[in-house]
Amino acid sequence: MAGAPLRAGLVLLLAGAALATGVGGALGGTGTGATRHLLYRLVGCRSHGSAAYFHGPALREVAVGFDDGPAPDTAAFVSMLETAHVRATFFMIGDQLSSTYRATLLRELRDGDVLGDHTFTHPDLNTSGEVRSQLQRTIAAIRTLSGYTPCIFRPPYGDYDTAVLATARSLGLATVLWNVDPSDWSLPGTGAIEQRVREQVRPGSIIISHDGGGPRTETLAAYPVIFAALRRRGYRIVTIPELLGFRPLYRPCIRLCDGIGVPRAGLPRAAIIEPAL
């Protein structure tokens, strides 16, 4: 029976190698026996186009972008979206990103929400003279906390020019504006937010609202009613990249998937799979 210890040692060695490469187990995959299936995590999206987007194609779809987070109300927005079974896009200010919000960002990614760039300090980019730095620093902050690289950007106040567009494009960012604005930042009341969205929405609309920049309880209360009304009108509610036809990027989990890894069979049909780094 001298070969038994050798065989046992070989099994342990192979198991350790599988874990080290992220195949199987908690480090990146699932499965039993000889067949193991890698998990894949969302790492970004592939945008296109050189002009600013105010809306998507005239299909029965709409997308909502929440600006100025992450903020104290952001986790409540994520909970609201989970309850409504809706995915949204969060345009984040880089200077507000910290380890405090890491779990919230990972939760957004796990739910299928999208993370977008809203500059580092929320300046008017037409006059700031630091467009590239504002965008790059926010990309780096988002990537550091979540492993995700945004492919969309919303300029503060909606202010941009051709130089802003070109700089964003050079960083892989599509510039996204909106064509539905309930002015929720002004705290007009929950009913007014609901009514303004319902009146302005058209097929392919991009809606702007806010999860940061102040108390957002009115906005938070308005959106379950808005989502229900949109669905009654036959609208499908999607993320902004999905509305615009941008493809999500996935990569095999070599390190911890942070609870957001999915098997290959669960990837969107349009997904691009990148090689592991």
Q: What is the DSSP string of 8-62?
A: HHHHHHHHHHHHHTT-SSTTTEE--TT--EEEEEEEEEE---SSPBSB--SSSEE
Residue 276's pLDDT is: 81
Same domain flag for 73 and 102? yes
Distance between CA atoms of 118 and 94, rounded to whole angstroms? Answer: 7
Sign of CA dihedral 229, 230, 232, 237: negative
Domains identified in the chain, total number: 2
For residue 271, give the 3-state DSSP assignment: coil
Q: Is residue 53 part of a domain?
A: yes
Same domain flag for 104 and 1? no
Residue 23's pLDDT is: 33
Same domain flag for 26 and 87? no
Domain of 24 in residue numbering reads as 1-35
Same domain flag for 71 and 12? no
Q: Is residue 268 part of a domain?
A: no
Q: List 37's β-bridge partners, or say none.
A: 30
- The token pair that represents 121 in the structure block: 């300090």
Same domain flag for 195 and 143? yes
State how far the alpha carbon of 269 is from the alpha carbons of 87, 101, 246, in Å.
Answer: 17, 30, 12
State the pTM of this model: 0.86
Sorted by sequence, the CB contacts under 8 Å of residue 10 that are 6+ apart come out as none
Nearest to 218 by CA among 186, 196, 177: 186
What angle (nearest 5°) sits at the alpha carbon of residue 277, between those of residues 49 and 23? 120
CATH of residue 48's domain is 3.20.20.370
55 is catalytic: no
Residue 13's pLDDT is: 34
Q: Which of 67, 68, 113, 211 is catalytic?
A: 67
Blockwise average pLDDT, block size 10, the chain, 277 residues: 42 34 35 56 95 98 98 98 98 98 96 97 94 98 97 98 97 98 98 98 98 98 98 98 97 82 91 88
Q: Is residue 166 part of a domain?
A: yes
Q: Which of 55, 184, 210, 211 is catalytic?
A: 210
Residue 37's pLDDT is: 67
Same domain flag for 159 and 99? yes
122 is catalytic: no
